[in-house]
Amino acid sequence: MTLNEIAVIGAGQMGSGIAHVCALAGYKVQLIDVSMDRAEAGIATITGNMNRQITSGRIKEEEREAALDRITPQDNYDHLEGVGLAIEAATENEEVKRKIFADICPQLSAEALICTNTSSISITRLAASTDRPEKFMGLHFMNPVPVMELVELVRGIATSDDTFQTIRGFAEQLGKQWTRAEDFPAFIVNRILLPMINEAVYALYEGVGTVEDIDKAMRLGANHPMGPLQLADFIGLDTCLSIMQVLYDGLADSKYRPCPLLVKYVEAGWLGRKANRGFYDYRGEHPVPTR
């Protein structure tokens, strides 16, 4: 199956980033969301990010124009018949993802492949909700997609060798490095990263240090480019909580219990950068710790 045309479902932070790199790599892209306003907002994000790439010398103006011409915003699934690969990049909610697969499968050709960008949910279980589990696998991009080099390739129990090889080649065409992860909760990166972030929230919750103390300690003491609480805000605290809940439920180990303070922040709607408030308040000129 040739992958000349890609459908990206979800035009948020991850979906727009995936559409961005696909279009720059020469693929035609449908960027699909629940409304045209949201799909076009995704294209506006892509345009801004490509403009920054021009400023930094990573791409040329003509590459930007050609890539943007390859992206079509959509608010429905009516034009999927020519798509070789559909990439689901919706919110980290299994019900939402299953509904998307139920809606797109009848519209796709029998040969089309489906990937999910889930950062934690079982690939085997998601694949079983489609009509083509052998043509389904995880393709987990890192955020921000245009900058981060890695993708995690995750096979479900039914994923065929042909599907894996095709998606591996696709990832390489995008200029990405890849790693193969087994279908266990949160795969490799988030299996290691999110418990560290959760432990940082516990350290805050228990008064071991302030937000600034904890982030400074990990930046300067462990040489991390970004402190764990700042990183949590960047990822989205709701996403962090969802991944910790998947780890806790899937592995039944108390070490993965989400910190109650993380739960409280999400309940308050303080979800990080996207909500202008999380462990830092972003509404002023400079981020200010909220605790």
Q: What is the pTM of this model?
A: 0.90
The model's pLDDT over 18-53, given as tens digits with 9 standing for 90+, comes to 999 999 999 999 999 999 999 999 999 999 999 999
Burial 193-212 (b: 16+ CB within 10 A, else e): bbbebbebbbbbeeeeeebb
Considering the domain architecture, whether residues 138 and 220 belong to the same structural domain is answered as: no
Q: Judging by beta carbons within 10 Å of its beta carbon (0-12, 13-18, 19+), is residue 55 exposed, middle or buried?
A: exposed
Considering the domain architecture, whether residues 102 and 142 belong to the same structural domain is answered as: yes
Note whether residue 188 is domain-resident: no
Considering the domain architecture, whether residues 51 and 177 belong to the same structural domain is answered as: yes
Would you give the DSSP letter of residue 256?
Answer: G
Note whether residue 84 is domain-resident: yes
Q: Work out how many domains the chain is built from and give that number.
A: 2
Considering the domain architecture, whether residues 45 and 151 belong to the same structural domain is answered as: yes
| Three-class secondary structure of residue 154 per DSSP | strand
Domain holding 213, by residue range, is 195-289
Q: What is the pLDDT of residue 1?
A: 58
The model's pLDDT over 86-109, given as tens digits with 9 standing for 90+, comes to 999 999 899 999 999 999 999 999
Burial 251-285 (b: 16+ CB within 10 A, else e): eeeeebebbebbeebbeeebbbbbbebbbbebeee
Considering the domain architecture, whether residues 159 and 203 belong to the same structural domain is answered as: no
The model's pLDDT over 159-189, given as tens digits with 9 standing for 90+, comes to 999 999 999 999 999 999 999 999 999 999 9
**% of the chain at pLDDT higher than 70:** 100
For residue 247, what pLDDT band results from cuts at 50, 70 and 90? very high
d(CA 88, CA 207): 39
**Preceding peptide of 287 cis, ω within 30°:** no
Would you give the DSSP letter of residue 48?
Answer: H
Note whether residue 189 is domain-resident: no
**Which active-site residues does the annotation give?**
119, 140, 152, 190
Considering the domain architecture, whether residues 244 and 167 belong to the same structural domain is answered as: no
Single residue among 118, 151, 181 that ends a domain in this structure: 181
CATH number for the domain that contains residue 44: 3.40.50.720
Q: Average pLDDT of 199-208?
A: 98
Considering the domain architecture, whether residues 38 and 154 belong to the same structural domain is answered as: yes
